[in-house]
Structure 1
Amino acid sequence: MLKIDLNGLISTVAASTAAIVAIVSGLLFSRLLSLSSEKNGILRRLNELKADIDLRREQFLEISDWLLWDDAKDFINEHAYEIIMNGTNFEELVNTEEYPYRSTDELRPFIQKLIDVKEDFHKIIEEINEGDEFADNFNDFYQNTKLRYSDRRFYYETLFKLFDTEIMKGSSTYGYLNTYLPDVSLPTSNEYRTKKSERDRLEGEIKNIEYQIDVQKKSLINYEKPDGLWSGLLVIIYSCTVGVIWPVTLLPYPSNIFDDYLTKWVVLGWFISALFALFSYLAWSTYRLTRK
């Protein structure tokens, strides 16, 4: 049996493999840090965009509610007589092709509040007919009368104007003026135009932010499944096992136990396979990087 001192060879193989693995591991670790940093940057950007869009949506809803309320008031002012005195179904009065371009579903909550206030106003008028004095102006009426819906000033004022107009016409019974002409204020004020422009601007910004969020989410998917990291980790584990851990277990190399010639080629074969795995991984990573 050929006797060879393999301690130097085994030590060299283990040290060389460990050095190469350290270099590849450093590159892999550097890439992990880079990916982690970029992913955290995307997550921070996503959080900023979500906070921004939440603020924009809140502002958009606030302005939209203001515009809807303003349009509802104009609709009530224009059709109060038909709704209150003729009992006309407000849905018959809605024309979405004319101002205020509002649907019945949008106006229904406001009309229902008007009907509720009407019932309370009836009771108040009945008490007045029994002897109480009717207020000269709405402010006195609103402040001195016990109202069931004290937060619905506009609705009470609308009904008060109807009733007050009838008194001026000399009616002695509770029933409304047949020729009531409402005070209709179309939305030509600077405030309405400003609010509408602001709403349109916010709507555009919301769509833009939604697009940015979609782009960031798509980018995040690529970072959740990075190319080559797991394969690189497997190559490092393999190289460490066959090029470092197994050779080290042979040290100090015993005499007169193994076939030294066969052991030499086994050690070199594992070393070469580890080098092949490492450089194949580097070549594959370089190819994918340059191809993209």
Structure 2
Amino acid sequence: MAQAQPVDSAPLLSTLVQSGAALVAIVGGLLAARLVALVSERVALERRVRELAQLDQKRDGDLAAARKAVLDDDGADFVEAIFDSYVENLTRDFEDLFSEHGNESLTRGEMRPYFDGFVLQVAELEDELNVANLIDEGRPDDWDELRGELLLKVKGQFRQRIAEGILVGVERDWRSRRPRAPLGFEGMDMSLLAKINDPLRATRYAIESNYRRDLERNVMSAEAAKAASELEVTQARQALSLLSKPEGLGPALLVLAGIAIGGIVLPLMQLTFGSSGLSTLNRAMYVGAFILSLVVFFFYLWFEMRRVVKVPKGVLDGNSAST
């Protein structure tokens, strides 16, 4: 019986190479499109993370400013509370005044800078008004006119209040040096009467209360905005981290490599370095390798379609919970 002669398989091998190249082009195109989409998404996420980080930093500053405004208001209230006590007796120290006028919402460390600033303003105004000379020289005959001129030189409503308190203290020092009046009556301190008969006291209290509520609302709004920005930054960074580990790229590369080796490299090497005459078994092996490449290719397509179409369980649970 005659032995079967090898058949020229060059057309078959060429067809396998061309078909394998077509499959590689399809898989490579899908992979390239996926990579382009991933790069675009990563660039967008990186930009989003930077924008959210800047927004979070801005809201952090807004929150700090809102809290500082509340603290400044507390400091102003503390200075207002100790104002008369300190101006009447400049020797009183911070601990003494805080124990008398402080409350549970204030701390010594927070209020100390405001007290120091108040003391500095008093000392500056004492020098500006030349208090030492006024006390030494005694009350001049034209004191009422001179007093008004001194107060006009002081700029700022709060500084004028301090100056008035200092001058009241100077007048008190002068009265202490004069002989006592009959029956011990030395006259009334009109500043006390002004405090008692203040018609705008209730109005100022209402305005200050509304201002305080506005400050506290600003703090709450800033805290909520800060918490929201921190959550957005965290979510964006988590999404960027997940994008750094994309699913499906590894299998796609394996499929691409398998098709390229089985459908292109091996037939092409046979055409280049081997004999074009192949036995039936060898032809079957090359055709089988190509068919296996087709099977792997369609399995990869099925896997990608299943991954894309399938909805994650957590998403369904979230939708059902929200409804």
Q: TM-score, normalised by structure 1?
A: 0.74
Amino acid at match of 2:109: D
| Deviation string, structure 1 residues 46-77 (Cα, Å, up to 9, x no partner) | 33333333333333333432332232112111
2:307 maps to 288
Is the 8 Å Cα contact of residues 114 and 155 (structure 1) preserved in structure 2?
Answer: no
1:33 corresponding residue in structure 2? 36
Deviates more, 1:10-19 or 1:38-47: 38-47
Equivalent residue for 1:233? 253
Within the candidate set 214, 220, 225, 1:200 is matched to: 220
> Would you say the 8 A contact 2:255–2:300 is kept in 1?
yes
The CA deviation at 1:117 is 4.3
Instruction: Report the counterpart of residue 264 of structure 2 in structure 1.
Output: 244
What residue number does 2:317 align with? none
| Equivalent pair of 1:74/1:186 in contact (CA under 8 Å) | no
Asked if the contact 1:242–1:271 (Cα under 8 Å) also holds between the matched residues in 2, the reply is yes
Q: Which digits, 9 at most, give the CA deviation of each residue in 1:236-272, with x for residues without a partner?
A: 123212311232222257548x753443233224323
Structure 1 residue 225 displacement after superposition:
0.9
The percent identity for this pair of structures is 22
Q: 1:46 aligns with which of 40, 46, 49?
A: 49
Change (3 A) 1:9 1:138: farther
Give the 3 Å change call, closer, same or farther, for CA 159–73 of structure 1 in structure 2: same
- The C-alpha deviation readout for 1:104-153, integer Å capped at 9, x for no partner, is 3322222233344455556653365566998646664546xxxxxxxxx7
Alignment length (residue pairs): 275
The change in CA–CA distance for 1:20 and 1:131 in structure 2 (over 3 A counts) is farther
Please state whether the residue corresponding to 2:103 is helix, strand or coil: coil
Cα distance in 2 between the residues matched to 1:64 and 1:187:
22
Q: Assess if the C-alpha contact under 8 Å between 2:151 and 2:163 holds in 1.
A: no
1:15-94 alignment runs, 5 A limit: 15-82=18-85, 84-89=90-95, 90-92=97-99, 93-94=101-102
* Residue in 1 that maps onto 2:163: 160
2:129 matches 1:109: no
Q: Distance in 2 between matches of 1:287 and 1:60?
A: 47
Please say which of residues 259-268 and 101-110 is displaced more in the overlay.
259-268
Three-state SS of the structure 2 residue aligned to 1:250 is helix
1:209 equivalenced with 2:229 (yes/no): yes
Q: Distance in 2 between matches of 1:248 and 1:139?
A: 104
Letter in 2 for 1:43: E
Deviates more, 1:182-191 or 1:229-238: 182-191
2:103 — aligned with what? 95
Amino acid at match of 2:232: Q
Question: In 2, are the aligned partners of 1:6 and 1:264 still within 8 Å (CA)?
Answer: yes
In 1, the alpha carbon distance for the partners of 2:23 and 2:167 equals 97
1:253-264 matches, within 5 Å, as 254-255=274-275, 260-264=279-283
Q: Aligned pair in 2 of structure 1 residues 34, 139: CA closer, same or farther (>3 Å)? A: farther
C-alpha distance in 2, partners of 1:85/1:105?
Answer: 20
Among candidates 266, 270, 281, match of residue 289 of structure 2: 270
**Unpaired segments ≥5 residues, structure 1:** 144-152
Deviations 1:11-56 (A, max 9, x none): 1111111112222222222222333333333333333333333333
CA distance in 1, matches of 2:224, 2:52: 15
Whether contact under 8 Å (1:18, 1:244) holds in the other structure is: yes
Q: Secondary structure at the match of 1:95?
A: coil
Name the structure with the higher helix share.
Answer: 2
Q: Is the 8 A contact 2:131 2:170 kept in 1?
A: no
Structure 2 residues without counterparts, runs of 5 or longer: 177-188, 196-200, 313-323
**C-alpha distance after superposition, 1:208-254 (max 9, x if no partner):** 22222222222222211111112212321232123112322222575
Change (3 A) 1:166 1:253: closer
SS at match of 2:207: coil
Q: Could you tell me how far apart the structure 1 residues matched to 2:280 and 2:206 are?
A: 99
What are the within-5 Å matches in structure 2 for residues 153-192 of structure 1? 159-169=162-172, 171=174, 186=205, 188-189=207-208, 190-192=210-212
